[in-house]
């Protein structure tokens, strides 16, 4: 599977959906649930943009391998 590009538009894969509350957000998928932590909601104004891009790319690739995200 190719890594995401700047033109990629990540979306939940078929069979996956949002669940939980606004404060305790989860992604429900056929094999289980993935709880989203507040870390992803924080602002990182002093972090290198290329580091953020690399981390996001790795995370999206992991989600795609688990068939949670398509892009």
Would you say how long the chain is, in residues?
71
Written as tens digits, the pLDDT of the chain (71 aa) is 788 988 999 999 999 999 999 889 999 999 999 998 876 556 666 778 888 889 889 999 999 999 999 99
pLDDT at 46: 76
pTM: 0.77
How many CA atoms does the CB half-sphere of 2 hold within 13 Å? 7
Where exactly are the structural domains of the chain?
11-37+46-70
The angle subtended at Cα 21 by Cα 68 and Cα 54, nearest 5°, is 40
């Amino acid at each position: 599977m190719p890594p995401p590009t700047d033109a990629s538009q990540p979306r939940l894969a078929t069979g996956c959906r949002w669940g939980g509350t606004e404060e305790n957000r989860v992604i429900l998928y056929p094999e289980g649930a993935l709880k989203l932590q507040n870390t992803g909601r924080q602002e990182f104004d002093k972090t290198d943009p290329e580091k953020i891009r690399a981390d996001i790319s790795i995370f999206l690739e992991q989600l795609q391998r688990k068939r949670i995200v398509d892009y």
